[in-house]
Amino acid sequence: MKLFIKPSTPSGLIAIVVLMFAFGFMLVPLYSVFCEITGLNGKTSGQYQGALTNEVNDNARNITVQFVANRNANLSWPFTPQQEVMELKLGERKVTSFRVVNTSNKAVVAQAVPSVSPSAAASHLHKIECFCFEQQALGPSETKDMPLVFFIDESLPKGINKLTLSYTLFDITGSDLVDM
């Protein structure tokens, strides 16, 4: 096989170097795609784009969902789930919310990041509406109830009867991450 890159010459080897540097950066989207497709690392997908139905399959399995709220670093505003535990049927659309209270007297911006455990469940959790899709702006002393509308599809592996959906709230006020 004739190689385009001749490894016995400096230019050929430099080409390999450049390719490997680019490969390092390509690992970033590769990792993201890999995680989303497989649900690895509990990464959930973005907004659910598929068809919605109001029908509920009465024979569908019942499972338990736990909701956990975390606050990153020095973020001290109360951030709590409306309910810690919820029973639901697979395929059934459910609504819940998370409450955040901006206890400071300044406007702030927060970003919620979801994570699911066990990770095998992540690709079966579909979020129709989630406060994690957008940055949340809060005025001074504002209390906000942020909705979550979701369902867990019926192809959830048989062995999983309980899963945990965790949100970590990050304070991104004044950082480069804020959309302006």
Can you give the binding site for other proteins, defined by CB under 8 A? 7-10, 13-14, 16-18, 20-25, 27-28, 31, 35, 38, 40-43, 66, 68, 70-76, 84-85, 103-105, 111, 113, 115-120, 141, 159-162, 164, 166, 168, 170, 172, 175-177
Q: Is 54 left (phi over 0), alpha (psi -120 to 50) or beta?
A: alpha
- Which residue has tokens 């059934």? 92
Q: How far is the CB of 53 from other proteins (least distance, A)?
A: 28
HSE toward the beta carbon, residue 9, CA cutoff 13 A: 7
Using the minimum distance from each CB to other proteins, give the nearer residue, 84 or 145.
84
Q: How far is the CB of 60 from other proteins (least distance, A)?
A: 18
Distance CA 164, CA 147 (A): 17
Q: How far is the CB of 95 from other proteins (least distance, A)?
A: 20
Using the minimum distance from each CB to other proteins, give the nearer residue, 59 or 74.
74
* Close Cβ partners of 69 (under 8 Å, ≥ 6 residues apart): 79, 80, 81, 98, 166, 167, 169
From first CA to last CA, the distance across the chain in angstroms is 53
Using the minimum distance from each CB to other proteins, give the nearer residue, 93 or 144.
144
Q: How far is the CB of 149 from other proteins (least distance, A)?
A: 21
Using the minimum distance from each CB to other proteins, give the nearer residue, 97 or 166.
166
Q: How far is the CB of 89 from other proteins (least distance, A)?
A: 18
